[in-house]
A and B are shown apart, each in its own frame.
Chain A
């Protein structure tokens, strides 16, 4: 009796989960099929398998879009911005974790304030600032690096500070007693031990920057695109041709999904790491 009742609950539970799984994945599946349909097929019978599989859509995207360039741009911006952000964040986090200086809490709160600042508050001034005489970055890819690095700092410092604080202080003190300067302790002892947190921060920043839209939309000049911008502009251009746009979406998502499939644990940990109590 008991097992029977249990198994009913078991079945219902799995059914509910299956429904939600379908809701999550079916749109993506539908889009992938759409990328291989002929155009008439997509308009007349958008459900089910394609009447005839075709690669024409993918070929057209490769010929007409400049996704290759957008990929390069995104990669360049993200790599540079992530490197700058992480270097600065690790050092600052180390100082917050190890040194007791005056005004430390205030400075830390100032950094954490960044978690609450909507990026859109900064769009107008950044547009001014980056075009100003001193920087002259307006419109170029380099314009994105500063804002990306700057807005990546709060979460990174938060995560890394906790990681450094969790290290046994005796270990770091011992290295200092042996005559290492703080920079040496940081580099030879602190950093290697904080590697898991570094990975988390790296993934978090890279994915957020890779998918970022508002800054790219505002700060890049005409003709310059990152991947998210390229998608929306491609849609604008080929609006009525569902199959071609779906093929473009598929091309953009395949690499992400592959990476995600390989490193799901790290990626999930990375993207949820900002949500610490």
Chain B
């Protein structure tokens, strides 16, 4: 009976249309078609919204590879990427491990750590711009307690501003990863810890031999999300990097945006070729990760 049922076709052609067509139409129109058009645009010389686009084959890409701003933007993306993998994730994991023991106000702490995630990033950007205000900002004011007359333009020195922006991005996301890790940790059965303690394992050994292997899947998810996230990061870098010279304030997404939409720019073709490279980069980096995960 069961065998028979599983082979039975439980839908008609019409059903497929009713159930799938609305989603597919919207997805095709607003996600797939634009991606396709981006690919097409990237082969065109098209320097203002008003002018006619002219086919130029790979010229845009050739220019892009010689464009110092593009390379610095790419470097900045990788700075964000490694920063989030080497700073945000370990810190979040540490917090989650601390919270894994019986803790006062555990629920409250979890909620509090997660708070920055629900605030619009444009509000976060404004908040941190004031924190980094050279004179009256929070950070300068705090340092003035120890060193009177201290003032520092955190966000307008080309060399280090991206680092300070990265700190505020971390403020946004560490709580998010902490919550993910907490969920991963809570799925480890209590008996495992107890058995290990009975066998005389130290906390450090428990952490290395039990906890870390058990939350490897969660680590993978967090890492993948961080990688995708830092490749397509836009908001805070765009909002906080305003006053800097071009090459020190861009990541790929902001560069694409500025090429196309900043005043006096409108370089749709060139911007599209940068967008295409961003997309391909995301695929190249993420697909092997996903494939490996499916194998395990």
Contact = CB atoms under 8 A, between A and B. Distances in A.
Interface of A: 10, 13-14, 16-17, 20-21, 23-25, 27-28, 30-31, 34, 42-47, 84-85, 87-89, 91-92, 94-95, 98-101, 107, 110-111, 114-129, 146-147, 149-151, 153, 157, 173, 176, 182-183, 186, 207, 210-211, 213-214, 217-218, 227-229, 231-232, 235, 242, 245-246, 249, 252-253, 256-257, 260, 264, 267-268, 271-272, 275-277
A125 B33 contact: yes
Contacts of A28: 115, 127
B272 A146 contact: no
Contacts of A126: 30, 34
Contacts of B98: 13, 16-17
A31 B127 CA distance: 7
Contacts, number: 276
Contacts of A235: 126, 129
Interface residues of B, number: 98
Contacts of B234: 120, 213-214
Contact of B126 (A42, A214, A231): A231
B214 interface: no
Contacts of A27: 127-128, 131, 138, 171
A40 to B, nearest CB: 10
A267 to B, nearest CB: 7
Given A14-B103, A267-B118, A277-B221, A122 B16 contact: no
A275 B261 contact: no
A27 B282 CA distance: 33
A157 B22 CA distance: 13
A122 B125 CA distance: 23
B82 interface: no
B146 interface: no
Contacts of A122: 30-31, 34-35, 38
A99 B10 contact: yes
A146 B26 contact: yes
Given A24-B116, A121-B38, A267-B118, 7 more contacts: A47-B145, A120-B234, A124-B268, A149-B30, A153-B27, A182-B19, A253-B119
Nearest to A259: B118
Contact of B16 (A101, A117, A183, A272): A101
A173 B8 CA distance: 11
13 contacts: A45-B141, A95-B19, A101-B11, A114-B27, A121-B275, A151-B30, A213-B234, A214-B253, A242-B130, A268-B111, A271-B176, A276-B221, A277-B220
Interface in B58-117: 95, 98-99, 101, 103-104, 109-117
B24 interface: yes
B147 interface: no
Q: Which residue, of B15, B34, B117, B268, has the highest number of chain A Cβ atoms within 10 A?
A: B34
A129 B33 contact: yes
A146 B131 contact: no
Contacts of A47: 138, 141-142, 145
Q: Which residue, of B30, B121, B141, has the highest number of chain A Cβ atoms within 10 A?
A: B30
A25 B113 CA distance: 8
A24 B122 contact: no
Contacts of B5: 173
A76 B199 CA distance: 60
Contact of B121 (A45, A84, A213, A249): A213
Contacts of A107: 20, 24
Interface stretch (B152-160, B188-196, B225-233): B225-233
A253 B95 CA distance: 25
A8 B275 CA distance: 53
A256 B119 contact: yes
A20 B95 contact: yes
B135 interface: yes
Interface string B17-41: 0111011101101111111111001
Contacts of B256: 120-121, 123-124
B217 A277 contact: yes
B56 interface: no
A268 B268 CA distance: 38
